[in-house]
Chains A and B, each alone.
Chain A
């Protein structure tokens, strides 16, 4: 069987994961013409929220970017950059990398003034290099499209070194993009109604009690009301939350030879038929693009981050427009899901990646197994 770009990505990731006793699990997949991608040339490699912090701030807030000690993500991306170069040389396949926002967590990094430029050069330097900075330093670089997340600014000032976009479409031949990406905060009612300063105040001064994707005091208090725990335990509960992910049939281990089911997703037949609070708003936004005759009207796949909860939701209304929502998750907090082989539920650090090639969209969970 000829190896396809998905297999090459998996092989490349496993070259790094193998020596670390790691593996890849499939959290979601839709392999179907419903995706509407006419091109086989591009491979879209999607990296979700990272919320990078300097070590001092990480200690203060007791949460942070998963697997930072082993440099796991940087190692994976460095190997992917090598694959990108070989594809560039062959001119047949092009790797397009997108980081979906909330790369740095400037809200937590800076208590008061907006001084993003004070981040030390070597703070998370390996990830900055491999995603966007390496091109200026002569090193390997993915030249990623970096989306602007709500945590990427301090009082609305971004880190100047990062080439931010508000959103992206794939570059089609015919001005009909199938793929749209946004961080997701523009569809979050809290984000769009509360001033940044209030949200940042809540995050910073109640920092250790506030999970990274919940900001205002009122929201925090609602959360605490639902958790019957002492204040001491509560801190752990909200800074180390678990996102229950439920891939149908359990998460299959992925290797290049493994046949995978074509649909590992939540399938709905109406945009209001899901508990996901973003789906309906995003679906409606594509409708508005259609009403305005804009390129967004052609979009079949919407990819986002922001929620930290990986999910794949396919809506196929009878006679209506299909849409796939691909929330790629995060590399902070924890996720819980069951393994396909024995149904055992596991809880482990979130470490998710998304890949789209042709009409095949996937979300992977990167696992590091305990040694011995």
Chain B
């Protein structure tokens, strides 16, 4: 009798566990967080940008950005803003730093080299090749990863992003096309740069070790901007430490 009661209890707890597992599993949402400018690939890092030297100035300079642009104390590259009146701060930080907020790499992804730099596609490959922990969204590293292996591994996605017809037709069609590439879709995106309502559509999917986030502007017929952020899983990856 006691054995029977024990068996019923075991079955009951097993059934409850399975139900809980299913409920929790079904309710888990996958959210992509945008990450810092260093983790986020949102522009070709070898492409020079043009910016005014001072507010209202007609004189402009052309520059390729370095990591120092985004430090809290600001840089010589861009303007710093101060509060109009004194505040309580005792540190040396400005009230704000004027820094570029990139809107994303243009889609379809271009393979045309830029003057003095790499094509958008090749620069993205260079970023991916440095791995998900390298923090090289602003400035490429002084060493490099295995760009050829990366080009091969990410070819399905890179080719997809390079064709306008793949990016057109609305979310459902793009999702259907992407589904053949062994990607994982996110349920939500937390964009630290913009309100997502500024866009007509945002679609995020993971391939290998990175998330690819596509943006569609209102009255545009295709996703036209791309941001890539790393998936921070467990760090040790012995195969990735080998030269092949």
Contacts and interface: CB of A to CB of B under 8 A. Distances in A.
Contacts of A158: 133, 235
A96 interface: yes
A136 B241 CA distance: 27
B143 A170 contact: yes
Would you call the interface of chain A mostly helix, strand, loop, or mixed? mixed
Interface of B: 38, 67-68, 71-73, 130-131, 133-136, 141-149, 234-244
Nearest to B70: A136
A283 B103 CA distance: 45
Of A97, A170, A295, the most chain B CB neighbours within 10 A belong to: A295
Contact of A167 (B72, B73, B148, B242): B242
Interface residue tally of chain A, by bracket? 35 or more
Contact of A157 (B68, B144, B147, B235): B235
A355 interface: no
Contacts of A168: 141, 143-145
Given A135-B68, A136-B71, A138-B71, A167 B142 contact: no
7 contacts: A156-B236, A164-B235, A165-B133, A170-B144, A285-B243, A292-B149, A296-B244
B143 A169 contact: yes
Given A169-B145, A170-B143, A292 B244 contact: yes
A191 interface: yes
Given A285-B243, A296-B146, A136 B72 contact: yes
A143 B131 contact: no
A269 interface: no
Interface in A153-183: 153, 155-158, 162-171, 175, 177, 180-183
B71 A164 contact: no
A294 interface: yes
A295 B125 CA distance: 14
B120 to A, nearest CB: 18
Contacts of A181: 143
A285 to B, nearest CB: 5
Contact of B148 (A145, A156, A295): A295
B128 to A, nearest CB: 12
B148 A186 contact: no
A294 B243 contact: yes
A165 B146 contact: no
Contact of A163 (B73, B135, B235, B242): B135
A153 B236 contact: yes
Given A153-B236, A158-B133, A165-B145, A143 B67 contact: yes
B143 A182 contact: no
